[in-house]
Structure 1
Amino acid sequence: MCLIVWAWKIRPETPLILLANRDEFKQRATAALHAWPTQPLIYGGKDLVQGGTWLGITENGRWAAVTNYREAKAETAPLSRGWLIRDYLLSKHSPEHFLNALNPNDYGGFNLLLGTQDQAYWFSNRSKTAAQALQAGIYGLSNHLLDTPWPKLVKARTEFSALVEKSSNFSAEKGFALMRSEDTWPDPDLPETGVGLPLERQLSPIFIQQPHYGTRSTTLLRWHAAGEIEIQERSYLETGFQDQQFAFYLNPRTEQSPEF
């Protein structure tokens, strides 16, 4: 997952609206959005290599997303970042408790977004600050820290803000369209993350298309005040795209898996 924008408690009728692009190597085996046979049910895609996910929500209202932190030399880590999402979604702990119990050195550089119906937290193991409880607002996250003003993040957040604040009904298709932007940026505007200018250029658009790496899917998550939750995923294929969608009502009484 490489770019997320979300509105938290901005619209009374839809307290959470989240759009996310997942960027990944094209040969990495992946399952599209589906209901995992867990207790509670997890709705999300799955990384078939490590068994984790990049974004998901449960039937009892726990939601989470992760991005990697871009750096010149990625450190070898014993645990997959996708397990962070899986383990949180299946746990009984609050976001704050889960983060306090986490050993961040077990993972490569990451940004972690954790939430419930009432709370949302951001944490990065590359930040010098503690986990941040998010107040009502519109946020953006890519492969650095929260709201780092990379050009593609600024563009996505600005256009997303306009959809959220000015439209009476948030349009899924308009959301998917803004996450398909292939705009690039002048070299002086690009971040310097240590990977070299040619790669910074390739990674600069919101929607990345390279021969072996690119944006594999876009996910839209909406939580309505009446308790209905919608999650839609658009997977990008060589022949076009394929959509998956689930809608369900919050079921807070669902028990957690005993192993978590």
Structure 2
Amino acid sequence: MRAVGIGKEVSSPEGKLTILADIDLQIDAGETVAIVGASGAGKSTLLALLAGLDEPSRGRIWLNDVDLTALDEDGRAAVRARHVGFVFQSFHLVPSLTALENVMLPLELADRPNAREAAAEVLAKVGLARRQAHYPRQLSGGEQQRVAIARAFVTRPALLFADEPTGNLDAATGERIIELLFELNRDLQTTLVVVTHDPAIARRCARIVHIEAGRLSATLDSASAVPVA
């Protein structure tokens, strides 16, 4: 995917507020990228723009050769359904659905065949084969996040966006969740873009993108810790 000249502005009582300015970014297929920066730097806003969840005030974004900025919300939603998965800090599970039904949901919305079998297979991959009939309230935080990850991967998306995926978890559970994300990334060759404040998670990605006050301040290769073009 590629973003060129991205800016995002919003109105505030004090006038126009610039959230992001002049962001240029390219992410290659299968790459793992961490977006890091201080609170309020614009990390989550950038993620939402790249995923087509929001519209930039200026600039253009291409996802799988589709110009997201040329589409309306329905068009962006269709692209997301075909190509994108999400994992958030808050698990965003539907409380009235079982674990299996939550994972089936994106398949059913896309009218995919064999939704139940595909959902059960992915739940087994994340270690929840015996928890399929449980509702979110009956699951621990780590188990709920594993359901969310299974739901994100069940459509075999080209890109997975994760926004602070361990933010609501204890350290040990968070580490298991990160292991799972990177394992599925390797197995399915899904491009992984992670917003994180955790340096250990960032270092596991091939590239680290630093956002400072709404601007891209540096792009580093995490192995060599030197700027990359």
TM-score, normalised via structure 2 length: 0.29
Bigger helix fraction: 2
Higher strand proportion (structure 1 or 2): 1
If the length of structure 1 is used for normalisation, what is the TM-score? 0.27
